[in-house]
Amino acid sequence: MEEIRLQKYLADCGIGSRRKCEEYILEGKVEIDGKKITELGTKVTGKENITFNGKKVEKEEKKVYILLNKPIGYVTTVKDQFGRDTVMELVKVKERIVPVGRLDMYTSGALILTNDGDFVYRYTHPKHEITKTYTVTLKGIVKKEEVEKLRKGVDIGGYITRPAKVKILKTDEEKDISRLEITIHEGKNRQVRRMCESVGRKVLALHRSKIGNIGVKDLPLGKWKYIDDFLEIHR
């Protein structure tokens, strides 16, 4: 029987991304046949008695892929240590799903959840360059030179962002706001907010409208739907 790395097996079971599962192993949260495992090189067949935080881990036969239009006020995690509302409270399914990537508490929009560890790995791997499109409302009337800087790449604290697609959707002198559409294919923490701040603009609202080709335009805030697998994102 074929053996696979423990972290991949855990990811395939919907415990989390492969990287997150590596952290769980190093933290001593995983046991095989009653023995605590802390070595990342450990391989399994799946026939062993594998537990995570004391609960038996088994592969889900049915893979599910869910698109959520996340509202503001929910954190993107399975369980929050501070007792805040999480996105898991919005999606009730029998499968053990996890969020793919993150949206901060004050950002709304497209978020995928799944129990497919390979999907999580492919989605988060830089080589696939999955685009994320955001609508961002800024304080003040944005200048052309600021937009050009965002397009070329800006310093967000020791990291220069790669070229982005930036389009002005609206400017309102009376309200003193600008609205931009920004498309990136990186996933740095709070990247779009930091990009806008780097050109001196305060973000008033941020919404992720699309992941790849999948959008939430017709999906109300707080609602979700099933989608196809990784291929649909590139369709």
Q: Six-digit token pair at 82?
A: 């501070």
Query: Helices 191-198 and 144-152, interaxial angle, to 10°?
Result: 130
Phi, psi of 149 (to 5 degrees): -60, -45
**Cα(213)–Cα(22) distance, integer angstroms:** 30
Whose structure tokens read 């881990």? Answer: 57
Q: Write the CB contacts of 162 (distance below 8 Å, at least 6 apart in sequence).
A: 153, 184, 185, 186
69 HSE (CA, 13 A, CB side)? 14
**Sign of torsion over alpha carbons 227, 96, 99, 109:** positive
**Cα(210)–Cα(216) distance, integer angstroms:** 7
- Residue 33 CB: number of other CB atoms within 10 A? 9
Residues with catalytic function = 104
Q: Six-digit token pair at 148?
A: 């050009």
**Cα(217)–Cα(235) distance, integer angstroms:** 17
**β-pairing verdict for 4-5 and 50-52:** unpaired
